[in-house]
Amino acid sequence: MNILIVDDERDLVSALSAILKQHNYAVDCAYNGEDGLEFAMSGIYDVVILDVMMPKMDGFEVLKRIRTKNITTPVIMLTAKSDVSDKIDALNGGADDYITKPFDAQELIARIKALLRRGAKIADNSLKVGNTILDRDTYEIVANGKKISLGKKEFQILEILMLNANKRVEKERLIEKIWGYDSEAEYNTVEVYVSFLRKKLAAINSDAEIRSVRGIGYTVGAKNG
């Protein structure tokens, strides 16, 4: 799971980042509203933790611009103010939750987990392209009465491609979403996993085809579709 922290209090961000990483979250950090907006607009995060009072652009404006672009990433607002009106503004502006500083890190983690569970309940547990179903509970692909298990990275790549069926997905986006901004993963790493996926799709006679977009990325769609 990828989490973005946007807050200008560097000591807080550093401490919170360390705690989240201990809980096996991948974490990126931004220290002002403009950078935070740029990161958030990528759409690669599972949760954004967003401070209200920041240089260059406050959290309310960042939230507004995110939602204007139809980015539905869950957002937890951080505020040093306990004023009810600020909390109402956050929720009305599209925030999914808020927490007042100072806060207990374990409480924030509990809220993150609650948002992720909520999203999991909303999400369908399968995706389909052509005759092929990706079971998001079992990490299996099924076609023609046959099924085969996927490794974690294979599953993540195919899930993103199927969520964007017949649309181009850049290799860079796959790396950022799956390995994170700070990863040293290279394009040929993605190519290796795509090669594994193609072999597994062929093994169950799937008509879902992963097509290369030269020098850019991939699309997935039904053969002859």
Whether 75 and 102 map to the same domain: the answer is yes
The per-residue pLDDT string of the chain (225 residues; one tens digit each, 9 = 90 and over) reads 789 999 999 999 999 999 999 888 889 999 999 999 999 988 778 899 999 889 999 989 999 998 888 777 889 988 876 667 777 777 777 888 888 888 888 888 998 888 887 765 545 578 889 899 998 888 999 998 889 999 999 999 999 999 889 999 999 889 888 887 766 777 788 999 999 999 999 999 999 999 999 889 999 999 876
| CATH classification at residue 112 | 3.40.50.2300
DSSP code string of the chain: -EEEEE-S-HHHHHHHHHHHHHTT-EEEEESSHHHHHHHHTT---SEEEEESS-SSS-HHHHHHHHHHTT----EEEEES---HHHHHHHHHTT-SEEEESS--HHHHHHHHHHHHHHHHHHS-SEEEETTEEEETTTTEEEETTEEEE--HHHHHHHHHHHHTTTS-EEHHHHHHHHT-TT----HHHHHHHHHHHHHHHHHTT--EEEEEETTTEEEEEETT-
Q: Look up the domain containing 216 and give its range.
A: 126-222
pTM tops 0.85, yes or no: no
Report the number of distinct structural domains present in the chain. 2
Whether 87 and 156 map to the same domain: the answer is no
| CATH classification at residue 165 | 1.10.10.10
